[in-house]
Structure 1
Amino acid sequence: MGISLHSYCCHYLPVQLDTQNIYLLPFWLQMMDLYGAGVIIFLGFNQENSLVPRFLEGFLELGSPDSLRDESSIDSKKPLKVCSVKAGGMMSLAIDSLGALWIWGNYPPQNHSGDGEFSHISSSAPLPVWEFHGHTVVKVACGNEHVVALVSAEETFTGGDLICYSWGNNNHRQLGLGDRENRLRPEIVKTFNRECPWEVYEVACGAFHTAVLTRKKIHGNMIDSSHLESLELGEKESICWTFGLGDNGQLGHGTTNSTYLPEPVKDLPPDVFLISVDCGLFHTCVVSSAGDVWSWGMEKGLGLCPDASFTGTDAGDALSPLWIPFNEYGSKFVDPLQVVCGAAHTIIVAHSGYGLWAWGRGRSGALGSGNTADSYAPCSVMWPLLDEDALEIADEKARIQDEEPGRLAEIDKKLSLAMEEIQHLRSKLTLTERYVSILHGSIFGKPFEEQDLPPSLQNSGMFDIAKEWENTLDSADLAQLTRMESFYHNMLSSVKNKLLKRRIQELINECLHSSTKGS
């Protein structure tokens, strides 16, 4: 399957995604977050494991679905641009710039002619989903063993004409097709077909449930409600629909019942427009354009799982949406953009992208708050730009963008200079951390951790290095003293060897010079 699992160091703060720092986990392994383990997984490398990000060369080799069907164009294939990527279960999916959907890993087989029994096939390289050939795939989401895609009704996407398809394992009714039969090929979710009165525009999948956002279709300034049992739903700005497993309240219907067909989350206000939705393993979260955030599901909608520290009246799952305030004063989030859910935590991007806030399980440093504590309310992610000066500049920019357009250039310049300074400080900090880690590991035989900082430095920011070194020696056990002594002798030996080699080289050069001069 081309899957590689390796324990890795946990990061309490956001780190740059490069070949040495990897902290983004695919959705299908979010359960590992419950046990505090960092995980790395990569698919599509022709059965080869990889510890670092690698380019999926299959996209270069395969070209577009059109070129695959036309052998005469095999020499004119061009690299495809990936516009969107999703990971779930044991599969990965990508949408390219032509609107084609690609899939790899372990996934439901296509064009299966058997008896309909659910099984997986495995591909270590991306393959196109031929069922959507001739149409544009706009959005896709996947859970543990099911996939949901929003596909244009026509060849190209012109807006407002998306049809919802689902396929895969349906043992928890997560396909929304009215039964528990598995689907080996994409099938239209009838609630969101071309004739339905709602436009589908967002989709998300939990482990065994699905959430969809819709808005009303307008036909001649009239709401087409011919397929509605009531006009109330059609009058809402937007609707969040959920279906599948409901054991922990992740459907938001006020019960723990599972549903065969999509049902609206009725307790959300009717006058809000929902801009983003995402699902954790057993919780769901939505955010409105006005900055309202609602969450529901396991452990008060936080997805914290059974060992959370909630007690008394606060304990239990949220069966209906709970409003998540920005702070203790009940404020809304400012200029929200997106909400995303991990296995047991949630992150929202707000302040027009200048700030991140997280809540839920903090194990493995998933909240980015600088520690591993759980947070039952939004806490600031230690994002480089998330400081008072940056937020003040962002707010000021939003305030004057219509009043004083001439000042925007000055504000942009300040932001640019601030970013350059932050990047410079981050690079210096990274080099310092690497140097400290190497030195600390050489002397003490273990990686440097935050608790290794001397108490005086933690409290005041200044300390007497001679005194702290004396304290370190006094508190060291025999094994640590032995290792430090060995490190000291090895260091001296290395210095002596280098000095000796240098002296020998000098003598050789002198002899060669004398010999050449004499001859």
Structure 2
Amino acid sequence: MEGNTAPSGKVVSVAAGEAHTLVLTGDGFVYSWGRGMFGRLGTGSEVDELFPVKLKFETCEEKIIKFVGVAAGAYHSLALADNGSVCHMDGQLGVSGENYSMPHLMEQFLELGSPVSLIDQSESKSKGPLKICSIKAGGMMSLAIDDHGALWMWGYCPQRSNINESSLSFESSFTPIPVRDFHGHTVVKVACGSEHVVALVSAGETYKGEDLVCYSWGSNSHGQLGLGDRESRVHPEIVEMFNQDSSWDVYEVVCGAYHTALLSRKKRPNDTFESVCWTFGLGDNGQLGHGTTQSVLKPEPVKELPQVCLISVDCGLFHTSVVSSVGDVWSWGMEKGLGLCPDASFTGTDAGDASSPRLMSGYGVDGPIFRNPIQVACGAAHTVLVANDGYKLWSWGRGRSGVLGNGKTMDCFTPSAVLWPPLTEDFKQPESNTVSEENNGSKGVEETNKRLSLAMEEIKLLQSKLSIMEQYAGVLHGLVFGRPFTYQDVPISLQNSGNFDIAKEWESILESADHSKLVRLELFYRDLRASVKDKIMKRRIQEIVKECLPSSSTAK
């Protein structure tokens, strides 16, 4: 397994948990931010982080570990090293039920051999520890694929009942358990929700490019297995829409708590590229994108998506997001597809779940801002997008505990920029390799460190002030117009030139307002005018009283 050689600061992978986010950079480092409870951030404490923080991984050999993968469950995190070892944060799912707020090596894998070699007794177990090449997490479950294409599971995962082998049970396992059902095949990709698993497995012994078969198992109370019923499964079963004879080639699979999404394209020969998103399972909040709130027991296409190349998909708790190769992002599900709960300050026509794909606003003054997207990731109620070839991050949704990584703790209804890259030593200019230059430049480096530290503090102060100003503007906007303030509410003239003619803009607002908005404005300003007149009257009375008091005392 080879390590990444991409430049420092370039994000190559992102994973989102219940209220935290992990990113992996091309030079093998991991950063995290958001809610720190249970030690999921891996920073050594349970303190929330409002900005991306670099994690420190230490081994007994004091070697620098380079990472090639990250995964996030609801309350725990995983990181995959280039030597095939796995580190985790929040040991409730990995080491005897203990919590670890610092990254901890999963030593269980060091003692295991691949199920492939264990079945074939002719192979020697002296070839070294098991090497993992892919990791995934969801809910309170963790998954890993080893270099032989075998699948492992641990945490709160579906298992055969000890009492009845045909019934399903869920028990916490601190030791990785092999899924032996795929012996003779290669597991290529896997995803898991709260209590179900979906895997893409080669039809033959090895993966040949377009021969993946989709399997699912676990809890199926909402049809999230896509097998046409609500019966849970102890063993993996084929999702018939994507069997060996299917005309669709599935290239991505993800799971929400109780729903599943896949991306597929037509198998060759095919003159035109046709990318389709399929969803099934729980649909109560519109998270399936079918235009209804009905649950679906078999895969159905999200028909309202345009025929474009979809490169990434992810599921939150009750919402789903996809991104195209040109940078368009669609979301659907709970509260306008943002994953936010109904109490997220939406009112009137802005309230309600999005049961069909909703195009996220991604256009600035100079055009599209989601250029060259890499990946989209959904947490329970927030979404993160990696764009600009990995050099810019955007987030939106729930902002509490610093989940959005923008230095604020406010919900954000439109994309906001994550503070990336962080102003840390990781992104400084490399120092000279010569001794003379090091000596001559030591003072300069020290001075640079001080300046960077001061700049970071200034940015945090400015972010804090900006947050307060946005809250103030949001309150005023809500009082006047009855809905949250968004970037689209900023007048075009102010966006383009910085000049603002308030009389002209106010006339434009009134001209474009419908009857209900005009009535609301009339009521607002009538109440405001009455309050002002009342306040003026009270102050005038106070002034008269003050003027009369001296004359009264003199008369006595």
TM-score, normalised via structure 2 length: 0.63
Alignment RMSD: 3.6
Flag structure 1 segments of 5+ consecutive residues without an equivalent.
31-38, 223-234, 387-414, 437-449, 460-519
Tell me the CA shift for residue 45 of structure 1: 1.4
Partners of 2:446 and 2:150 lie apart in 1 by 40
Which residue does 1:291 correspond to in 2? 327
Which residue does 2:232 correspond to in 1? 182
The one-letter code of the counterpart of 1:16 is K
CA deviations over 1:332-365 (Å, ceiling 9, x no partner): 6211110000111101111111111111111111
The one-letter code of the counterpart of 2:343 is D
The answer as to whether partners of 1:327 and 1:378 remain within 8 angstroms in 2 is no
Q: Which has the larger displacement, 202-211 or 66-75?
A: 66-75
Partners of 1:244 and 1:424 lie apart in 2 by 57
Which residue does 1:16 correspond to in 2? 54
The one-letter code of the counterpart of 2:358 is L
Identify if the C-alpha distance between structure 1 residues 248 and 427 changes in structure 2 by more than 3 Å, giving closer, same or farther. farther
Which residue does 1:322 correspond to in 2? 358
Which residue does 1:340 correspond to in 2? 377
Partners of 1:158 and 1:351 lie apart in 2 by 31
- Which residues in structure 2 correspond to 1:15-164 (within 5 Å)? 15-18=53-56, 26-29=72-75, 40=90, 42-70=92-120, 73=123, 75-110=125-160, 114=164, 116-164=166-214
CA deviations over 1:356-375 (Å, ceiling 9, x no partner): 11111111111111111111
- SS state at 2:52 partner: coil
The answer as to whether partners of 2:285 and 2:293 remain within 8 angstroms in 1 is yes
Which residue does 2:553 correspond to in 1? none
2:276 to 239, 245, 249: 239
Partners of 1:70 and 1:360 lie apart in 2 by 49
The answer as to whether partners of 1:65 and 1:100 remain within 8 angstroms in 2 is yes
CA deviations over 1:467-508 (Å, ceiling 9, x no partner): xxxxxxxxxxxxxxxxxxxxxxxxxxxxxxxxxxxxxxxxxx
Partners of 1:122 and 1:155 lie apart in 2 by 31
Tell me the CA shift for residue 112 of structure 1: 7.3
1:306 to 334, 342, 352: 342
Identify if the C-alpha distance between structure 1 residues 424 and 185 changes in structure 2 by more than 3 Å, giving closer, same or farther. farther
- Which residues in structure 2 correspond to 1:497-512 (within 5 Å)? none
Partners of 2:334 and 2:446 lie apart in 1 by 42
The one-letter code of the counterpart of 1:273 is C
The one-letter code of the counterpart of 1:177 is L
The one-letter code of the counterpart of 1:45 is V
The answer as to whether partners of 2:71 and 2:137 remain within 8 angstroms in 1 is no
Q: Which has the larger displacement, 279-288 or 424-433?
A: 424-433
1:358 to 379, 384, 395: 395
Tell me the CA shift for residue 49 of structure 1: 3.4
Which residue does 1:170 correspond to in 2? 220
CA deviations over 1:295-340 (Å, ceiling 9, x no partner): 0000110001122111111111101001113234572621111000
The answer as to whether partners of 1:360 and 1:374 remain within 8 angstroms in 2 is yes
The answer as to whether partners of 1:92 and 1:104 remain within 8 angstroms in 2 is yes
Partners of 1:361 and 1:454 lie apart in 2 by 17
The structure richer in strand per residue is 2
CA deviations over 1:353-400 (Å, ceiling 9, x no partner): 1111111111111111111111111111101179xxxxxxxxxxxxxx
Partners of 1:68 and 1:15 lie apart in 2 by 40
- SS state at 1:76 partner: helix
The one-letter code of the counterpart of 1:353 is G
The one-letter code of the counterpart of 1:354 is Y
Which residue does 1:465 correspond to in 2? none
Identify if the C-alpha distance between structure 1 residues 309 and 429 changes in structure 2 by more than 3 Å, giving closer, same or farther. farther
Partners of 2:256 and 2:136 lie apart in 1 by 13
The answer as to whether partners of 2:73 and 2:141 remain within 8 angstroms in 1 is no
CA deviations over 1:166-210 (Å, ceiling 9, x no partner): 100000110000000000111111111111110000001001000
Which residue does 1:411 correspond to in 2? none
- SS state at 1:300 partner: helix
Partners of 2:158 and 2:146 lie apart in 1 by 20
- SS state at 1:14 partner: strand
The answer as to whether partners of 1:239 and 1:264 remain within 8 angstroms in 2 is yes
The one-letter code of the counterpart of 1:142 is C
Partners of 1:323 and 1:41 lie apart in 2 by 38
Which residue does 2:81 correspond to in 1? none
- SS state at 2:385 partner: strand
Identify if the C-alpha distance between structure 1 residues 181 and 287 changes in structure 2 by more than 3 Å, giving closer, same or farther. same
Tell me the CA shift for residue 114 of structure 1: 2.5
The answer as to whether partners of 1:62 and 1:68 remain within 8 angstroms in 2 is no
Identify if the C-alpha distance between structure 1 residues 424 and 8 changes in structure 2 by more than 3 Å, giving closer, same or farther. farther
The one-letter code of the counterpart of 2:259 is H
Which residue does 2:316 correspond to in 1? 280
The answer as to whether partners of 2:381 and 2:397 remain within 8 angstroms in 1 is yes
Partners of 2:305 and 2:431 lie apart in 1 by 42
The answer as to whether partners of 1:215 and 1:239 remain within 8 angstroms in 2 is yes
Identify if the C-alpha distance between structure 1 residues 116 and 305 changes in structure 2 by more than 3 Å, giving closer, same or farther. farther
Identify if the C-alpha distance between structure 1 residues 425 and 364 changes in structure 2 by more than 3 Å, giving closer, same or farther. farther
Partners of 1:94 and 1:424 lie apart in 2 by 43
The reply on whether 1:216 has 2:266 as its aligned counterpart is yes
Which residue does 2:410 correspond to in 1? 373
The answer as to whether partners of 2:38 and 2:75 remain within 8 angstroms in 1 is no
The answer as to whether partners of 1:357 and 1:381 remain within 8 angstroms in 2 is yes
The one-letter code of the counterpart of 2:348 is G
The answer as to whether partners of 2:113 and 2:125 remain within 8 angstroms in 1 is no
- SS state at 1:383 partner: coil
The answer as to whether partners of 1:148 and 1:167 remain within 8 angstroms in 2 is yes
Which residue does 2:494 correspond to in 1? none
CA deviations over 1:441-480 (Å, ceiling 9, x no partner): xxxxxxxxx78x999xx99xxxxxxxxxxxxxxxxxxxxx
Flag structure 2 segments of 5+ consecutive residues without an equivalent.
1-36, 40-44, 59-69, 77-88, 433-444, 470-556
Tell me the CA shift for residue 154 of structure 1: 1.0
Partners of 1:66 and 1:209 lie apart in 2 by 31
Tell me the CA shift for residue 82 of structure 1: 2.4
The one-letter code of the counterpart of 1:121 is E
- SS state at 1:163 partner: strand
Identify if the C-alpha distance between structure 1 residues 417 and 454 changes in structure 2 by more than 3 Å, giving closer, same or farther. closer
Partners of 1:127 and 1:429 lie apart in 2 by 51
Tell me the CA shift for residue 417 of structure 1: 6.4
The one-letter code of the counterpart of 1:150 is L
Which residue does 2:24 correspond to in 1? none
Partners of 1:311 and 1:424 lie apart in 2 by 52
- SS state at 1:119 partner: strand
